[in-house]
Amino acid sequence: MVNFSETILWVLYIASLYFTIFWILVFLSSRKKFIKERNVSKLSKFPFISIIIPAYNEEVAIESTIKSVLNLNYPKDKLEVIVVNDGSVDNTQKVVERFIKRNKNNKVKLINQENQGKAKSLNNALNVVNGEFFACLDADSFVQRDTLKKMILTYHKYNDKDLVIVTPAMKIKKPKNLVQKLQRVEYFVMMFVARLMSSIDCIYVAPGPFSLYKTQVIRDLGGFDEHNLTEDQEIAYRVQKNHYRIKQCYNAYVYTGAPKSIPTLYKQRNRWFKGGLFNIIKYKKIMFNKEYGDFGMMQMMMNAFYFVLSLFAVSLFGYYFIWPFLKGIRNFYLVGFDWRPYITDIINFELKFMNINVEKVFILISVLTLSLIIFFIAHRNADESIKKHGTIYLFLYFFIYYIGLGIIEVIVLFEYLIGKRQKW
Amino acid sequence: MVIQRRISWKRYLLAAILTAIIFSFGLTLGMLLDEERSNWAKQINDEQIINYESLQLQYLYLSTLENESCAVMNAALEESVYELNKALNDLLGYKEETSFEEYDFTLIERNYLLSNLKYWLFAEKTKKICQSDMVTILYFYSDDCLSCPDQGVILSYFKKKLDNKLLVFPINVDLEGQEYIIKILKSQYNVSNEELPSIIINEKTYKGVVQKEELGEILCELFENSEIC
């Protein structure tokens, strides 16, 4: 009795298994190349670099953000800071002006504009950037002192004129509550996956905080897309489309602020996924296009397929867990919520081994085991230990967080289908 | 400028092969287990036949004795009906989860149905001979009747609550094509396929789902010892 849901389940299983195995193969063949940039002292050539700080109502954090940039382990005369005040209604402008007045020997500029969003801020700054490279740093993000040098080392290491973006390895800044701690785990996995994608030139997002761009090429490509929900993803797609390369600097750690509550997390992810969907559609011609190598043949397909996968996964989750759960509640209602007769059932609980579908369980276990392996490697790669942070998040991450993300993807898919657009 | 970007065909293929290996390994495992399962189902079925035989032998023996053997008889009956229903539930659960050919199950299901009816007759007799304080329910249902699961839930609730005081004998009317006895029972108790679920308590037919409160009242009236209500 192979029914519809059964077929979907098989597709889901096989596809997840295939993708997981694919990434493990990538890992096995490229792990020796995961050399972290350690000898920052060996760096001898220091290209001029501009750091753009877009700020909207950041009067509290802006000064310390500027200071943290100026405090980077990099020659002061090779560094400029461009603060873009995106129509703040607080004292951001005054705070920055005062800072510039007091620190005249540092190159800090201020651009004031009406509130026009982040992409516009970046483009306005891009017009005046003097650096050979530029990076952008949000006021809520924090960069380790050596990060910039490490990223420049990465540029030197590849010595490739087509390498135009080096992405950092992002971590969550001081995760406090459960929502943030789950994201911390997620960022480790994303960092690791980005590492794998980097090795086969498949990176499709240049994270907003502190990706280091080659100024001239980004200008030639027309700057950032001001009408895109996720301009940091769009620029990466555009760079890929023009056959330039993006690499991750494996240990250039950047710490970024993360949503603290479920509603803010939902809003962020809804924007990310929607932006992702729009960009897949915008660059659909890359998909299955041999000209684009693994990026076209595998990564684009995977990006698109994850939406379908999440749709399957969420409906199956509903079918196999939510529906029986609701049915259980209804049955409980039928007997007037009298639980006493069922105590013996719980005591005499026995797993009916013969009723378990071994094939499904076997593949589920395979996928879980492989994911766990990836998970452990991801921690090691991020220079973090699982023991230190507790394994409880691992389980929550696997069994609850994923489903939550899947549900958001499904919502995004539906919103897209009924034509609901969203502004940044 | 034509840029040749790398496509790792070998990796795609290797991933596909590895996926296929893991997948077929799981599939083989499942097939081996399927055979195991069908043997198991057959074994349960054989056990049931033997159980019935032994119960019938007990009955023959006990019916020659005086009333003091009733305790033994009741215990034997209760045990067997419990085992029978458990085996039937296991079978139905298995049927849902498997891709096995359906007719294999129909045979076993028919066997369970016949056993159930035999036990029912036996229970009725035991009740008369021993004057036991117990109630028997005939429960007519079908696979595609939407409200039947509700009745099933309520019945098993009382079954759990009243334990050996209540014996429920489920009859799947989908099997009436093969088992003429179902038709006989249906006409005797005035049960029609349009009014499922139907339950027969003490010769009286109740059509449609009998809710918990109502069923509780009906049952309470029938027990001599009303403390259990």
Q: Could A25 and B97 be called an inter-chain contact, meaning their C-beta atoms sit closer than 8 Å? A: no
The answer for residues whose C-beta is within 8 angstroms of residue A278's C-beta and 6 or more apart is A228, A229
B65 and B87 belong to one structural domain: yes
More confident residue, B84 or A402: A402
B171 and B211 belong to one structural domain: yes
User: 3-class DSSP state for residue A81?
Assistant: strand
Residue B88: per-residue pLDDT: 67
B154 and B209 belong to one structural domain: yes
Has residue B80 got a pLDDT over 50? yes
Which residue of chain A is at minimal alpha-carbon distance from B32?
A358
More confident residue, B195 or A221: A221
More confident residue, A228 or B114: A228
B107 and B125 belong to one structural domain: yes
B108 and B85 belong to one structural domain: yes
**What value does the mean pLDDT take over residues B101-127?**
74
**What value does the mean pLDDT take over residues B14-19?**
93
Q: Could A358 and B29 be called an inter-chain contact, meaning their C-beta atoms sit closer than 8 Å? A: yes
Given a cut of 70, the residues of chain A with pLDDT beneath it are: 1-3, 344-360, 363, 389-390, 420-424
Task: Answer yes or no: is B18 within a domain.
Answer: no
B128 and B44 belong to one structural domain: yes
Token pair, residue A232, equals 């940091």
Residues 240-299 of A with CB under 8 A from B: 243, 290-298
Q: Could B6 and A201 be called an inter-chain contact, meaning their C-beta atoms sit closer than 8 Å? A: yes
Q: Could B153 and A297 be called an inter-chain contact, meaning their C-beta atoms sit closer than 8 Å? A: no
Nearest by CB: A366 against B22, B94, B212 = B22
- What total number of domains does chain B contain? 2
Q: How far is A383 from chain B (nearest CA, A)?
A: 28
B71 and B84 belong to one structural domain: yes
B118 and B163 belong to one structural domain: no
Task: Report the alpha-carbon distance of residue A408 to residue A267 in Å, rounded.
Answer: 9
Q: Can you spell out the DSSP letters for B115-177? A: HHHHHHHHHHHHHHHHT-S-EEEEEEE-TT-TTHHHHHHHHHHHHHHHGGGEEEEEEEGGGGG
Q: How confident is the model at residue B48 (pLDDT cuts 50, 70, 90)?
A: low
Nearest by CB: A294 against B7, B22, B150 = B7
Q: Which domain holds residue B219?
A: 133-224
Residue A254: per-residue pLDDT: 92
Domain boundary among B132, B150, B175: B132
CATH number for position B218: 3.40.30.10
Q: Could B23 and A363 be called an inter-chain contact, meaning their C-beta atoms sit closer than 8 Å? A: yes
Residue A377: per-residue pLDDT: 85
B123 and B204 belong to one structural domain: no
CB atoms within 10 A of CB A392: 10
Q: How confident is the model at residue B53 (pLDDT cuts 50, 70, 90)?
A: confident
pLDDT in tens, A22-34: 988 998 888 777 7
Q: How far is A416 from chain B (nearest CA, A)?
A: 31
Residues 167-206 of A with CB under 8 A from B: 200-201
B43 and B78 belong to one structural domain: yes
Task: Answer yes or no: is B175 within a domain.
Answer: yes
Q: How far is B68 from chain A (nearest CA, A)?
A: 30
Task: Answer yes or no: is B197 within a domain.
Answer: yes
Task: Answer yes or no: is B93 within a domain.
Answer: yes
Q: How confident is the model at residue B114 (pLDDT cuts 50, 70, 90)?
A: confident
B110 and B126 belong to one structural domain: yes
For chain B, the residues whose C-beta falls within 8 A of a C-beta of chain A are 3, 5-8, 11-12, 14-16, 18-19, 22-23, 25-27, 29-30, 33, 36-37, 40, 90, 93-94, 97-99, 102, 149-150, 153-154, 157, 160-161, 211-213
Residues 290-329 of A with CB under 8 A from B: 290-298
Task: Report the alpha-carbon distance of residue A18 to residue A7 in Å, rounded.
Answer: 16
Task: Answer yes or no: is B73 within a domain.
Answer: yes
Domain boundary among B132, B164, B184: B132
Domain boundary among B132, B166, B198: B132
Residue A364: per-residue pLDDT: 74
Residue A51: per-residue pLDDT: 94
Task: Answer yes or no: is B148 within a domain.
Answer: yes
Does the pTM exceed 0.90? Answer: no
Task: Answer yes or no: is B2 within a domain.
Answer: no
Residue A305: per-residue pLDDT: 87
Residue B97: per-residue pLDDT: 56
pLDDT in tens, A128-173: 999 999 999 988 888 999 999 999 999 998 888 899 999 999 999 8
Task: Report the alpha-carbon distance of residue A79 to residue A48 in Å, rounded.
Answer: 6
pLDDT in tens, A409-423: 999 988 888 876 554
Q: Tell me the sheet residues that pair with B205.
A: B200
Task: Answer yes or no: is B79 within a domain.
Answer: yes
Residue B103: per-residue pLDDT: 47
- Residue A134 DSSP code: E
Residues of A in contact with B161 (CB under 8 A): 338, 340-341
Residues of A in contact with B168 (CB under 8 A): none
